């Protein structure tokens, strides 16, 4: 597919993109790595400092063989590396893995805003810089103002779209047993609902490209109608979408759904940085007219949150 005729054209706020999935290459590639429940769960625990195999088995509640299989996969994908620490094997994030930090902060921003839970560890992280309990604020790196979905425009970038993205996606939406989730980490339960299934995450991403009808999603994502139907009703049930009208229903992001925008933006940026030569899709921040590069700021001291800049 040739995208040259659409390069650089801003996308109208009223019109859906011709084919969001084709242009959402970076998101699809990012989801190919983290859009798997077990991989996401393991990455989360390594983030929180559990480096040993036995600890990871215990924390995740996954079987040893599954932990071993997913660690191997994450090592192969470049997210995690094995280190020998005093004769013992440890699993640590690589530079590429650490770069997922902004995605994690974007998830915390959304989850804390809508599902604040007193006992949730990640809702009480403290910023090493100022020593205060903080919430991350997704901000524009150029003007340092907070951004949201309504403050940005999409443009087609120079990167080539790739039409062979969805071919290996599993259709079944797996459910994780409640018993496998630590009560102090309900954030993972909610994150897994959204990012732990690639079709669900891509359906949300398409909604940000202003796709609204059943047929629109089907065409944009190349998704089978039974899979789409399942994901749309689940997202409506979760309060991420609202469904308006009978017959030709429209699915729109709710306020809660809209605040997932930084998650999609940071995932896209991560995918662009690690898997794509040039972005196929570029965002601009309307307030300052600059290309949107997201940065996460501490709401207490205003400084930028770097990897590992927290304690709990």
For the bound state, the minimum distance from the C-beta of residue 262 to Zn ion, rounded and expressed in Å, comes to 14
Nearest CA among 66, 69, 79, 73 for reference residue 180: 66
CB of 189 to Zn ion, least distance (A): 27
Number of residues that this document lists for the chain:
312
> Count residues contacting Zn ion (CB under 5 A)?
11
Angle between helices 64-77 and 37-47 (to 10 degrees): 80
Task: Return all residues near 30 (Cβ < 8 A) that are at least 6 apart.
Answer: 267, 268, 270, 271, 274, 275
User: CB–CB of 279/91 below 8 Å?
Assistant: no
Mark residues 9-38: x for contact with Zn ion by CB under 5 A, - for none. Answer: ------------------------------
Site for Zn ion in 58-97 (CB under 5 A): none
Q: Which stretch binds Zn ion (CB under 5 A): 98-106, 151-159, 202-210, 297-305?
A: 297-305
Among the candidate windows 48-56, 128-136, 213-221, 258-266, which touches Zn ion by CB under 5 A? 128-136
3-state secondary structure of 266: helix
CB of 152 to Zn ion, least distance (A): 9
Interaction of residue 127 with Zn ion, rule CB under 5 A: yes
Question: In 3-state terms, what secondary structure has residue 311?
Answer: strand
Rounded to 5 degrees, φ, ψ at 150 are -75, -15
Cβ(136)–Cβ(300) under 8 Å?
Answer: no
Which phi and psi (to 5°) does residue 291 adopt?
A: -60, 140
Interaction mask 135-154, Zn ion, x per CB under 5 A: -----x-xx-----------
In the complex, least distance from residue 311 CB atom to Zn ion, rounded to whole angstroms: 12
* 301 belongs to the binding site for Zn ion (CB under 5 A): yes
Longest dimension (CA), the chain: 64
Q: Segment contacting Zn ion (CB under 5 A): 117-125, 129-137, 154-162, 273-281? A: 129-137
Residue in 85, 88, 130, 278 binding Zn ion, rule: CB under 5 A: 130
Could you tell me the smallest distance in angstroms from the CB atom of residue 145 to Zn ion? 6
Binding region for Zn ion (CB under 5 A) out of 25-33, 65-73, 248-256, 295-303: 295-303
The C-alpha angle with vertex 216 and arms to 210 and 217, in degrees rounded to 5, equals: 85
Cα separation, 304 vs 79, in Å, equals 23
In the set 74, 107, 204, 298, which binds Zn ion (CB under 5 A)? 298
C-beta closer to Zn ion: residue 90 or 299: 299
Nearer to Zn ion, 188 or 283 (CB): 283
Q: How far is the CB of 132 from Zn ion (least distance, A)?
A: 6
Smallest CA-to-CA distance from 35 within 206, 202, 184 is with 202
Select from 16-24, 260-268, 274-282, 290-298 the region that touches Zn ion (CB under 5 A): 290-298
Distance CA 224, CA 228 (A): 6
Among residues 242 and 300, whose Cβ is nearest to Zn ion?
300
User: Contact, 90 vs 82, CB < 8 A?
Assistant: yes
Q: How far apart are CA 40 and CA 62, in angstroms?
A: 12
- Rank residues 85 and 130 by Cβ distance to Zn ion and give the closer one: 130
Judged by CB under 5 A, which stretch of 11-19, 36-44, 89-97, 278-286 contacts Zn ion? Answer: 278-286
Residues 286, 295: contact at Cβ < 8 Å? Answer: no
Residue whose token pair is 């999609």: 264
Residues that bind Zn ion (CB under 5 A): 127, 129-130, 140, 142-143, 285, 288, 298, 300-301
């Amino acid at each position: 597919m040739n995208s040259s005729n659409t390069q650089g054209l801003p996308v109208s706020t009223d019109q859906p993109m011709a084919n969001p999935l084709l242009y959402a290459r970076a998101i699809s590639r990012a989801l190919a790595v983290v859009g798997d429940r077990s991989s996401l769960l393991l990455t989360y625990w390594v983030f929180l400092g559990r480096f040993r195999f036995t600890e990871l088995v215990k924390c995740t509640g996954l079987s040893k063989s599954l932990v071993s299989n997913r660690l191997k996969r994450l090592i192969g994908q470049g997210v995690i590396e094995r280190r020998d620490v005093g004769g013992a094997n440890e699993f640590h994030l690589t530079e590429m893995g650490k770069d997922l930090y902004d995605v994690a902060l974007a998830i915390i921003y959304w989850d804390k805003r809508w599902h604040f839970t007193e006992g949730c560890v990640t809702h009480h992280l403290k910023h090493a810089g100022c020593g205060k309990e903080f919430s991350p604020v997704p901000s524009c790196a150029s003007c340092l103002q907070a951004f949201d979905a309504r403050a940005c425009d999409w443009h087609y970038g120079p990167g080539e779209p790739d039409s062979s993205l969805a071919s290996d996606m599993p259709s079944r939406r797996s459910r994780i047993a409640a018993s496998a989730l630590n009560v102090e980490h309900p954030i993972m339960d909610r994150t897994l609902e959204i990012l732990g299934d690639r079709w669900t995450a891509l359906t949300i991403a398409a909604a940000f490209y202003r796709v609204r009808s059943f047929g629109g999603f089907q065409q944009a994502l190349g998704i089978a109608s039974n899979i789409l139907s399942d994901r749309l009703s689940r997202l409506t049930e979760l309060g991420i979408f609202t469904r308006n009208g009978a017959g030709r229903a429209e699915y729109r992001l709710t306020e809660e759904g809209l605040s997932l925008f930084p998650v999609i933006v940071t995932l896209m940026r991560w995918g662009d940085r690690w898997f794509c030569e040039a972005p196929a899709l570029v965002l601009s921040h309307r307030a300052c007219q600059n290309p949107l590069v997201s940065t996460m700021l501490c709401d207490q001291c205003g400084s930028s949150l770097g990897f590992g800049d927290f304690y709990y």
